[in-house]
């Protein structure tokens, strides 16, 4: 059976604080470890009042310190926002604090925010995006064994061979991951359009490397599971509202679920399109939905995310997902 992992955006529900989100993330990570999830990733976003994981490497340290065996990493670090050496030092530090290859570094090419905020981070948006392939290679060198005459080293970082992944929602990162022989994660949980094409490109163009001898693809899925299908659909409205608010230019904290969403037909169509890679329902629905995703994508791993307002309901959703994984594993 393929591994299931967790993608946590560390949501801040309406009326809560970042401190609440951090406590909830650690609690979820501890449960995820008990339930057999493979890894626990956090995503870099900035200037978003509903997401608490802006300082992603700090959050990774928080989660890793509070767990024992589950792999912890980024999904992803937005490399255009950072100098590769700084990321090498941060993740070299994490890998040194939590040895045994517990730390993953998945890299994205987008800024993870709007252009105004990206400028506030003092980065050249165009130049940083264009230099992404070179920056990835530079970062790989910092994690490699140092060579004689190397004037700049990541300390810590050099020789630690921290696993690098590429994250994408288009063909660009699929092609780059294939060319560099790296594992590839597709952000289909919010941008599903190129999912199957990107996977085909990645697999067909993959070149074996010192990191990986054959393609390894992870697929992102929103899973909203509950003991009752109607309750699951109710919980899903929080994410739907969040997407509408983002499109309206009024992002905020994660809203509570509602019985009926006030949206236009165009807004509804846009949100449903973006969230097409979502599985919502009771255990039977979730089993059928995830089986379908696995069959269509032939993914090597699924990474599951759930922006659920109530923490206990969120825990239950991931618990059901873990149970479904066991059922699927017994039937393949």
pLDDT value of position 119: 73
Q: What is the pLDDT of residues 62-80, one digit of tens each?
A: 999 999 999 999 999 999 9
Listed in order, strand segments (DSSP E) in the chain are 4-8, 39-42, 71-78, 103-108, 164-168, 184-186, 217-225, 278-281, 301-305
- Say if residue 257 is exposed, middle or buried (CB neighbours under 10 Å; 0-12, 13-18, 19+): buried
pLDDT value of position 126: 59
pLDDT value of position 165: 98
Confidence of residue 329 (pLDDT cuts 50, 70, 90): confident
Q: What is the pLDDT of residues 4-56, one digit of tens each?
A: 999 999 999 999 999 999 999 999 999 999 999 999 999 999 999 999 999 99
* Alpha-carbon radius of gyration of the chain: 19
SS (H, E, C) 258-327: CCCCCCCHHHHHHHHHHCCCEEEECHHHHHHHHHHHHHHHCCCEEEEECCCCCHHHHHHHHHHHHHHHHH
Give the range of the structural domain holding residue 320, as residue numbers without chain letter. Answer: 4-331
End-to-end C-alpha distance for the chain, whole angstroms: 7
The better pLDDT of the pair 120, 72 is held by: 72
The total number of structural domains that make up the chain: 1
- Closest C-alpha to 163, from 253, 271, 75: 75
Q: What is the pLDDT of residues 231-240, one digit of tens each?
A: 999 999 999 9
pLDDT value of position 287: 98
pLDDT value of position 110: 78
Mean pLDDT of 270-294: 98
Confidence of residue 120 (pLDDT cuts 50, 70, 90): confident
CB 223 within 8 A of CB 321: yes
Mean pLDDT of 306-319: 98
Mean pLDDT of 169-182: 97
User: Is the predicted pLDDT of residue 115 greater than 80, yes or no?
Assistant: no
Query: For residues 243 and 154, what is the distance between their CA atoms, to the nearest angstrom?
Result: 39
Residue 77 region by backbone torsions, left for phi larger than 0, else alpha for psi between -120 and 50, else beta: beta
Q: What is the pLDDT of residues 185-222, one digit of tens each?
A: 999 999 999 999 999 999 999 999 999 999 999 999 99
CATH code at position 122: 3.20.20.30
Report the chain's mean pLDDT, rounded to a whole number.
Answer: 94
Confidence of residue 332 (pLDDT cuts 50, 70, 90): very low
Query: For residues 40 and 45, what is the distance between their CA atoms, to the nearest angstrom?
Result: 17
Give the tokens for residue 73: 């990493």
Q: What residues are paired with 164 via a beta bridge?
A: 105
User: Is the predicted pLDDT of residue 164 greater than 70, yes or no?
Assistant: yes
Mean pLDDT of 257-268: 96
Confidence of residue 130 (pLDDT cuts 50, 70, 90): confident
């Amino acid at each position: 059976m393929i591994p299931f992992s967790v993608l946590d955006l560390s949501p801040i529900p309406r009326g809560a604080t970042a401190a609440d989100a951090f406590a909830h993330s650690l609690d979820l990570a501890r449960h995820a470890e008990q339930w057999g999830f493979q890894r626990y990733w956090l995503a870099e976003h900035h200037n978003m009042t509903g997401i608490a994981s802006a300082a992603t490497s700090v959050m990774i340290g928080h989660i890793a310190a509070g767990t024992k065996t589950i792999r912890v990493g980024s999904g992803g670090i937005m490399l255009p926002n950072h100098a590769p050496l700084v990321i090498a030092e941060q993740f070299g530090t994490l890998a040194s604090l939590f040895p045994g290859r517990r730390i993953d570094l998945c890299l994205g090419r987008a800024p993870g925010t709007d252009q105004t905020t990206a400028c506030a981070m003092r980065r050249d948006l165009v130049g940083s995006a264009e230099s992404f392939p070179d920056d990835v290679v530079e970062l790989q060198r910092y994690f490699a064994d140092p060579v004689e005459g190397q004037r700049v080293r990541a300390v810590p970082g050099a020789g630690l061979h921290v696993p690098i992944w590429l994250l994408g929602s288009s063909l660009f990162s699929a092609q780059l991951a294939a060319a560099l022989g790296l594992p590839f994660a597709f952000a289909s949980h919010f941008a599903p359009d190129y999912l199957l094409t990107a996977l085909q490109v990645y697999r067909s163009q993959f070149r074996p490397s010192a990191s990986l001898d054959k393609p390894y693809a992870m697929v992102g899925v929103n899973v909203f599971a509950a003991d009752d299908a109607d309750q699951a659909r109710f919980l899903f409205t929080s994410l739907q509202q969040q997407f509408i608010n983002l499109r309206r230019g009024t992002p905020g904290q994660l809203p509570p679920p509602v019985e009926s969403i006030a949206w236009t037909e165009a807004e509804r169509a846009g949100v449903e399109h973006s969230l097409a890679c979502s599985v919502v329902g009771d255990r039977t629905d979730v089993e059928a939905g995830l089986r379908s995703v696995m069959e269509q994508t032939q993914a090597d791993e699924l990474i599951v995310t759930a922006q659920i307002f109530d923490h206990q309901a969120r825990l239950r959703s991931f618990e059901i997902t873990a149970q479904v994984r066991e059922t699927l594993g017994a039937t393949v």
